[in-house]
Structures are given as structure tokens and as C-alpha cells.
Amino acid sequence: MSELIPINIAIADRTYRLKLRPEDEEVVRKTVKMINEKIVEFKTNFAGKDIQDYISMVLIWLATEQTQSAIQLIQLKDATEKITMLQNNIDKALAASSENV
């Protein structure tokens, strides 16, 4: 089991100290960067009273993105299963036709 490493992250000018596995650090830092970029984007495009409004907008956006990704993953799995089934049917048909020759 790998040791946890401490890192500091900043979201909306507030710093948080986390402990995580070294292999997760890059993903966490990229996620934090994306969150901060979205906060700036929402500040630019939408009216809000304070930073909490923009953080809430980012949370809604992230939740929606995750839902869309899950739906796409399910659709991809379904398509893959159908392709595999078709491929098996074709293989069976080819095997049957070669036995009749």
C-alpha cells in the first residue's frame, strides 16, 4: 500500500490540505484547475452575489457532466455487446457454411 502524501490545493482563493496517494495527485490537480477555470468562466458570464453562487454553479455543471459521461458509457457498453453478438452470429454462419462445402 502506498503512503499518502500531503498536498495543498486552492479553490476559489481558499486553500485546502489533502492527503492522497501519489498516483492520484495529477488527477486532483487537473480537477482543481478545471474547477477554478469554470468559476472564472461563470463569473464572467453570469451574475452572482458571491463566490458561493459560482461554486454552486460549478457543482451543478460537474454533476451534469458526470451524468452525461455515465450515460455515454452505458451506451458504449450496449453498442459493444451488440457488436460482439453480431460478430459471434457471423462467425457461426461462416462456420456452418464452411461445413456444408
Phi-psi region of 77 (alpha: psi -120 to 50; beta: other; left: phi over 0): alpha
Question: Does pTM top 0.85 for this prediction?
Answer: no
How confident is the model over 74-96, as a mean pLDDT?
Answer: 89
Q: Where are the alpha helices (DSSP H) in the chain?
A: 25-45, 51-99
The grid coordinates listed for 15 are 486553500
pLDDT digits (tens, 9 = 90+) for 46-58: 988 899 999 999 9
- What is the identity of the amino acid at 17? R
Range of the domain at 34: 5-99
Number of domains in the chain: 1
Question: What does the mean pLDDT of the chain come to?
Answer: 89
